[in-house]
Amino acid sequence: MHKIQIKFRNWVLLFATLCVVSAGFLLTSCEGEEEEDTKVVLYSFGPMPIARGAELKFIGANLDKVTAVVLPNDITITAFTKKESGLLTLTVPQEAMPGYVVLKTPDGNITTKTPIGYSEPISIAGFTPATVKAGDELTITGDYLNLVGEVILTDRVTVAMDDFTSHSRTEIKLIVPAEAQTGKIAVSNAEEEPIIVYSATDLTVTLPAFTSVTPNPVKAGTNLTIAGTNLDLVLSVGLGGGKVIDAADFVSHSATEIVLQVPDDTKDGKVVMLPASGVEVTTADDLVMVIPAVSVTPVTLKNGQDITVTGTNLDLIDHVIFGGNKQGTIKDGGTATEILVTVPNDAVDGVVTFVTKADKEVTGPNLTMIVPAFSSFSPTSARANTNIILAGTDLDLVTRVIFTGDIEGTIGARTATSLTVTVPVGAKTGKITIVTMNGTEVVSAIDFTLLANLPTFGSYSEFRGEPGKILTINGTNLLLVKELIFPGNVPATAYGVKTDTRIEVYVPMDVTRGYGTIRLITYEGEEGIFPEIFFGATDPIVDPSLMINNFEVGADGHDLSWDNWSGAVELGNDPAIAISGNYMHGVLSALNGWTWIWGCNHDQMPKPSVTKADHYLKMDVNITRPFAAGTGSFVMKLAGTDIDIGHLGIENPDGSWSTPGWITITFDLATYSALPDVIPSSGDWGMTLWTGVDMDLTGLYVDNIRFEHK
């Protein structure tokens, strides 16, 4: 109890002390307030930012003592809209600028702690005139236009402030650029994040307009007159066929008329005027090009003969097409009313068509090409390498004479009624066919009889003639054969068995590779031909160090493990197919387009460097499924340089390409100008293929891609 009383007395003493101190403070504060009652005090001003012409308010104490307010720059205001102790208001003049505000009082100047700022809403009240032409002066009215840095016209055509002809707060004047188009106009303060204000209505920009286009139809090469309004705005005129005539090339040019020369190859189409604004002004109707009127004589004639064409506007004709889509030759010296045209040697019966430079076609009459008449030949029987004479009419049109066996004779002396031809070696008894310039064929009414004492061919025992190996010829009366001549005019020098039914002959090493025939000479001096057979095989690998890719597994990386870039091939090793070891085999059954066959650009597969002048490129190829004629084309990539190897140099008699087993194909590198003189070992290597039709690659086998010294 005693302790509690002590604590209570202590709290009473503390409270009394605080009361005394507080009373002292309160008195001091009251004395200060008394002093402040007579001084001008500014608490705040605003609103901020404020529009010029709006009311600016000052809030404080004793503001009724303020004698003047000074706005930047040095604008002194003494007329207030309200002046009270706690509130002072005034109207902000239009010429006021941003900055600090000063209140003048009997106690001295009071300067605001923050500058005054203004809201300056750029606005467009209107523009005149409402319709303008490029080069006219345009006046834009509004407010705060003095803040505008550029005017933007449709379509994104800007006029910078420096190019204004007049510029104030309420008005901008400028010259309308040639590129301006009809549409809204806008003003911008041209800041990095600009304020852009658009007009409420469109500004109409005058365009050139057509009144007439004459003449129509018009003849190419003559003048065209365009009448209209505001044509001085036109920079170019477009005609059919993509023809564009610039104003600098007009014959004459004014605000109401343009005269221009129509290009020779102009086509039917709209006339288009293009001003600087890029807005095209187009005619409603097409401008039509004049076409020639033609008459042709004769209508039955020989190839190589001239036709005479008469009519009008013939000078417009660019070329003449005869039957078979063959183009004739227009002779020099023609006029607008007459030309001479030579009928192509290969033209056939059909309509003759005249095509102008504007690609307009005029159809002429149907022309009939004269065909030779083949009445007889004598003698009707003869030996090879002797002459016979064909009789008839128009034989001067004959370009080829074909004997049975599809063997062509050699044409000698000729007239329109007589033709001498040498009976070719290999000809057989049967009809004779004459072929004209245009490919028309006429067959003899009777057979020609070949007088010959030749052996009869039966078959070849081998499917190809491999150089250095025996080729066996089977037949009858083979003992008549004295000599055999292989392709390349290479005579056989070595034989095996030789009987009346069988000849074994060694194929010469330098025989021409590919399909060819063997010419035979009998002991009586007669000549004949054994049927076509393929000559060739695989060549030995002379220098293994020049191997590019043999597809063998090993440290050199030739095995396609890295090099099968497109998945078009696989590694094969079937002993029944392989030359030796591995080979590359196609796997795509319907390739169409472009693909890698194989590719390599890594050091793990070393490639040799050679001089192109001294080396061949060789590869072993086996194509078991023929590729159709005209399909596909291969390209070899040697150290980054492409060389076209096409159909691999292979072609069957029917134009397809396949091989009778493995053969070596050879390319002379010196014939490829794109290759550098020294082919480096670095870069991209490989083979690509392009085809526009489906190709079955599953019959393609390749091995031993290599260089070889010549």
pLDDT in tens, 517-528: 999 999 988 999
Q: Which residues contact 417 (CB under 8 A, 6 or more apart)?
A: 391, 392, 393, 395
Q: Both 185 and 319 in a single domain? A: no
181-187 average pLDDT score: 95
Q: Both 552 and 624 in a single domain? A: yes
Alpha carbons 704 and 537: distance in angstroms, whole number: 14
On the question of pLDDT at 33 being above 50, the answer is no
Give the pLDDT of residue 556: 54
The answer to the question of residue 468 being in a domain is yes
Q: Tell how strand 361-369 and strand 300-301 pair up.
A: parallel
pLDDT tens for each residue of 99-114: 999 999 999 999 999 9
DSSP H or E run through 6: helix 2-36
On the question of pLDDT at 467 being above 70, the answer is yes
Q: Both 667 and 553 in a single domain? A: yes
Q: Which residues contact 17 (CB under 8 A, 6 or more apart)?
A: none
Q: Is cis: bond before 544, omega within 30 of 0?
A: no
The answer to the question of residue 197 being in a domain is yes
DSSP H or E run through 531: strand 527-535
Tell me how far CA of residue 691 lies from CA of 590, 655, 658, 684, in angstroms. 10, 16, 16, 22
Domain end call among 535, 569, 592:
535
Alpha carbons 295 and 312: distance in angstroms, whole number: 9
Question: 123 with 157: CB under 8 angstroms?
Answer: no
Alpha carbons 472 and 506: distance in angstroms, whole number: 9
Alpha carbons 645 and 637: distance in angstroms, whole number: 10
Give the pLDDT of residue 336: 95
H/E/C letters for each residue in 315-329?
A: HHEEEEEEECCEECE
**In which residue are the tokens 């065909």 written?**
371
On the question of pLDDT at 607 being above 90, the answer is no
Give the pLDDT of residue 21: 33
The answer to the question of residue 117 being in a domain is no
- Taking alpha carbons only, the member of 595, 600, 601 closest to residue 567 is 595
Alpha carbons 314 and 337: distance in angstroms, whole number: 6
Give the pLDDT of residue 684: 92
| Terminal-residue alpha carbon distance, the chain | 133
Q: Both 359 and 387 in a single domain? A: no
Domain end call among 450, 468, 487:
450
Q: What percent of the chain has pLDDT over 90?
A: 83
Q: Both 357 and 242 in a single domain? A: no
The answer to the question of residue 29 being in a domain is yes
On the question of pLDDT at 26 being above 60, the answer is no
On the question of pLDDT at 350 being above 50, the answer is yes
The answer to the question of residue 645 being in a domain is yes
Q: Both 300 and 317 in a single domain? A: yes
Which DSSP string corresponds to 630-662?
A: T--EEEEEETTEEEEEETTT---TTS-B--SS-
Find the domain containing 185 and state its range.
123-205
The conformation of residue 464, written as its DSSP 8-state character, comes to S
On the question of pLDDT at 624 being above 80, the answer is yes
Q: Both 191 and 275 in a single domain? A: no
Q: Both 630 and 617 in a single domain? A: yes
H/E/C letters for each residue in 568-628?
A: CEEEECCCCCCCCCCEEEECCCCEEEEEEEEEECCCCCCCCCEEHHHEEEEEEEEECCCEC
Alpha carbons 371 and 655: distance in angstroms, whole number: 30
Alpha carbons 491 and 511: distance in angstroms, whole number: 9
Instruction: Choose between 193 and 11: higher pLDDT.
Output: 193
The answer to the question of residue 118 being in a domain is no
Q: Both 380 and 361 in a single domain? A: no
Give the pLDDT of residue 36: 55
Q: What are phi and psi of 693, to 5 degrees?
A: -135, 165
Domain end call among 205, 237, 254:
205
pLDDT tens for each residue of 261-307: 999 999 999 999 999 999 999 999 999 999 999 999 999 999 999 99
CATH assignment of the domain containing 550: 2.60.120
Q: Is cis: bond before 491, omega within 30 of 0?
A: no
Give the pLDDT of residue 285: 95
Count of C-beta atoms within a 10 Å radius of residue 500? 13
Q: Both 176 and 213 in a single domain? A: no
Q: Which residues contact 284 (CB under 8 A, 6 or more apart)?
A: none
pLDDT tens for each residue of 373-431: 989 999 999 999 999 999 999 999 999 999 998 999 999 999 999 999 999 988 999 99
* CA angle in degrees (0–180, nearest 5) for 306-311-314: 75
Q: Both 598 and 693 in a single domain? A: yes
pLDDT tens for each residue of 500-558: 999 999 999 999 988 899 999 999 889 999 999 999 899 999 999 999 999 987 655 57
Q: What are phi and psi of 20, to 5 degrees?
A: -65, -45
The confidence band for 24, taking pLDDT boundaries of 50, 70 and 90, is very low
The answer to the question of residue 607 being in a domain is yes
Sequence letter at residue 107? D
Q: Both 434 and 397 in a single domain? A: yes
Q: How many distinct structural domains can be found in the chain?
A: 8
Give the pLDDT of residue 34: 44
Strand stretches in 75-146, DSSP E:
75-77, 82-83, 87-91, 102-105, 108-111, 123-128, 131-132, 137-143
The conformation of residue 269, written as its DSSP 8-state character, comes to E
The answer to the question of residue 75 being in a domain is yes
DSSP H or E run through 30: helix 2-36
CATH assignment of the domain containing 475: 2.60.40.10
On the question of pLDDT at 496 being above 60, the answer is yes
Alpha carbons 385 and 395: distance in angstroms, whole number: 21
Q: Tell how strand 131-132 and strand 204-205 pair up.
A: parallel
219-233 average pLDDT score: 96
